[in-house]
Amino acid sequence: MVDQTVSEALAKPAAAAGPGRDFWRGIAVPAALVVIWSAASHLGLVDSRLLVPPERVALVPFLDADGRELWLGITASVLRMLAGFTIGILAGGALGLLMGVSRFAERGIAPSFTAVRQITLFAWIPLLTAWFGNGEAAKIVFIALSAGFPMALNTHQGLRDIPIAFVEVARVLRLSRRRLLTQVLVPSALPAIAIGIEIALINAWIGTVGAEYAMGLGRGVGAFLAEGREQFRMDIVIVGVLTLALVGFVLNTLLRAGVARLMPASGNSRR
């Protein structure tokens, strides 16, 4: 009876702070910004050519010939991002794993990795375009770099932070190197690896739009933004910016949901 009462008391606050309340809290600020935006544009506080009214912006992807290019741009950007993201997390995870389990590799690679990581990502664009041109290859490599660095860093750090007692117990049990890796080291580092994947996804989306915007050529949300800027179509530019935020939010939410299903304890700890 006491246990039931305690469990019910603990359940009540969780129910009170359910997803419904979180949702309304989350949209309060965006809704207020839209109201301010609408008032500023309709009352003439800002030049309407620079700040297009929200109702006109909302219709651009559906009624405007140039605006309808957004849908193809989103598809192209997401597919491009997924390709670079996959390459980045695989390569970055492998590099982080190598540095995390091998002291020799850590001493040989980590200093150079740390130095290269300090280079601003967009500084790679001139070099990548010289090597790969302005096509898909250069963009995907850039996206992979954007995702690979945080993935490698978090994987390496997660492995280095594993308590030495875990390894000592594995040695007492005479686990093989493969079983030590798959049953002790990698499972213990999974929370850090999950965070690395999440950061890698954010960086990959930013890198996707940045590459499209800087390298031109081809479809994509970044190219859509660049065309809007060239035509001085602020409605298209605003639609593109809002699309970046929305798509990024959806991708991050889907990733977090997937991580929470695979790693319930880790998913709950980040809330």
Range 259-265 contact pairs with CB under 8 angstroms and sequence separation of 24 or more: 259/194, 259/197, 259/198, 263/190, 263/191, 263/194
User: Which candidate, 247, 253, 249, 250, places its Cα nearest to that of 209?
Assistant: 247
The predicted-structure confidence for 11-33, as pLDDT tens digits, reads as follows 444 444 445 677 677 777 788 88
The torsion angles phi and psi of 176, rounded to 5 degrees, stand at: -70, 165
More confident residue, 29 or 89: 89
Q: What are the structural domains, with CATH classification, of the chain?
A: 65-269 (1.10.3720.10)
Please give the biggest Cα pair distance in the chain.
76
Residue 84 · residue 143 · CB < 8 Å: yes
User: Which candidate, 116, 90, 72, 70, places its Cα nearest to that of 238?
Assistant: 70
Averaged over 136-147, what is the pLDDT?
A: 92
Give how far Cα 118 sits from Cα of 112, 113, 114, 162, Å: 10, 9, 7, 26
Residue 95 · residue 152 · CB < 8 Å: yes
Please report the pLDDT score of residue 230 as a whole number: 86
Please report the pLDDT score of residue 81 as a whole number: 95
Sign of the dihedral defined by the CA atoms of residues 98, 100, 104, 105, in that order? positive
- The pLDDT mean for the chain works out to 82
Give the predicted TM-score (pTM) of the model. Answer: 0.79
Residue 95 pLDDT > 70: yes
Cα–Cα distance for residue pair 93/24, rounded to 1 Å: 37
Angle separating helix axes 221-230 and 234-262, nearest 10 degrees: 160
The predicted-structure confidence for 115-137, as pLDDT tens digits, reads as follows 888 888 888 888 888 888 888 89
Ranking 42-46, 97-101, 109-113, 143-147 by mean pLDDT, the lowest is 42-46
